[in-house]
Amino acid sequence: MPIVEAKALTKVFRRPDKGPGLGGSVKHLFARRFTDKVAVDHVDLSIEAGEAVAYVGPNGAGKSTTVKLLSGILVPTSGEVRIDGLHPQRDRMTVAHRIGVLFGQRTQLWWDLPVAESLAVLRDLYGIDRATYRKRLARFDEVLALGEILPVMGRKLSLGQRMRADLAAALLHAPRVVYLDEPTIGLDLAVKDRVREFFRSVRDEGTTVMLTSHDLADIEGFCRRLVIIDEGRIIFDGDLEAVKDRFARERILHIETARPAPLETLRASLPGAEVTVEDTPVRYAVRFDRFAMTAGQVVTALAGLAELVDIRVDEPSIEDVIRRVYSGELVLG
């Protein structure tokens, strides 16, 4: 049985339709006009235990609303949610012990308490024994450098420091399911790398992870499944590597030669490829469809014209695919 399951999940927000200022507010008291905004539209989603799923989409697509519905923060307008077979609203206390949630734009720390005391409160709320608590804090300290911010008041934390503390708070009780909404926002590059490695270890230990992020480096190398939502509807749900193989066809081969190669001859030997000179006359970029030719064919063609000094291949990334989906250039189906 899936550990996270949503069927026809729908959330409609009702907004007052009124004019600006006091006059508009007074008029609305009598007219009482509203407009409906469908944030999540009949979403079907099933996640197995131990899966790491990337849930992506443009701003306003319904990502955060979906996470709030799946965690029980919001009540669906229609449809249903089950977490480990439980109903998030009816079984709220039990579900709360089985899930961890991190919202990059929201904190679960107490604003006027040091980080250490906020975590201690969560320890007592979740009934974590002292030995286990110390062990988990030590692990978080290795990855997040948590020790240096434990004495700091919540309101005095920088964005990056708060994200590190919130990560610890979300994972403190070792939840079976973790929702991570923009988990690396505000983190510097070194900490991001350690956090991503930590996510992989959490996944490998069997924790189910649903990751929402605009930083697609968070996704590659961590999630094996990609779900794309747009205007409240899921438009793609499948294997991440398969998406790259199918839609990210282009590769760019950067080549440096000992002397300039005859450009027109090179272009003629590589029909269908785009050959350009880079910053110097001995550096070339060859853009080609990997299903039409191989990197070996490109290298062979250039090697017959000039001595090769250096070669570098730019592999396609999932970011290329997602960017094209967002801009309407690519329809996944």
What are the tens digits of pLDDT across the range 219-233?
877 888 999 888 899
Tell me the helix, strand and coil percentages in the chain, rounded to 5. Answer: 35, 30, 35
**Average pLDDT rounded to a whole number, residues 142-146:** 87
Q: Is 90 exceeded by the pLDDT of residue 178?
A: yes
CA–CA distance, 257 with 322 (Å, rounded to integer): 34
Distances (CA, A) of 307 to 68, 126, 257, 260, 264: 59, 66, 6, 9, 17
Q: How far apart are CA 73 and CA 40, in angstroms?
A: 14
Residue type, 295: A
Look up residue 86 and give its amino acid: L
Mode of pairing for the β-strands spanning 225-230 and 52-56: parallel
Model confidence at 291: pLDDT above 90: no
Only one residue has tokens 């794309």, namely 228
**What pLDDT does residue 332 have?**
63
Stated pTM of the model:
0.77
- The arrangement of strands across the sheet holding 250-257 comes to 274-277, 283-289, 250-257, 308-314
Cα→Cα distances 188→160, 161, 277, Å: 7, 10, 35
Provide mean pLDDT across the span 11-26.
72
Question: Which of the given ranges, 58-67, 150-159, 192-201, 318-327, has the highest pLDDT on average?
Answer: 150-159
How far is Cα 220 from Cα 216, in angstroms, rounded to an integer? 7
pLDDT at 80: 93
Q: What is the pLDDT of residue 36?
A: 83
Answer yes or no: is pLDDT of 186 > 80: no
Is the pLDDT at 105 greater than 80? The verdict is no
Q: What is the mean pLDDT of residues 306-316?
A: 85
12-45 per-residue burial string, b: 16 or more CB within 10 A, e: under 16:
eeeeeebeeeeeeeeeeeeeeeeeeeebbbebeb
pLDDT at 210: 94
Mean pLDDT, the chain, whole residue set: 86
At residue 166, does pLDDT exceed 70? Answer: yes
Greatest mean pLDDT among 158-162, 207-211, 265-269, 288-292: 207-211
Q: Give residue-wise pLDDT tens across range 247-288.
A: 777 888 898 988 888 888 888 888 888 888 888 888 989 988
> What is the 8-class DSSP label of residue 318?
H
The CA–CA distances, whole Å, from 84 to 7, 48, 67 equal 14, 10, 15
Q: Quote the pLDDT of residue 126.
A: 93
Domains of the chain with bracketed CATH: 4-245 (3.40.50.300), 249-315 (3.30.2130.10)
Query: What element of type H or E holds 138?
Result: helix 130-144
pLDDT at 53: 94
Check pLDDT > 70 for residue 25: no
3-class SS string, 164-226: HHHHHHHHCCCCCEEEEECCCCCCCHHHHHHHHHHHHHHHHCCCEEEEECCCCCCCCCCCCEE
Tokens encoding 42: 């009949």
Of 91, 96, 68, 55, residue with least CA distance to 11: 68
Higher pLDDT, 193 or 320: 193
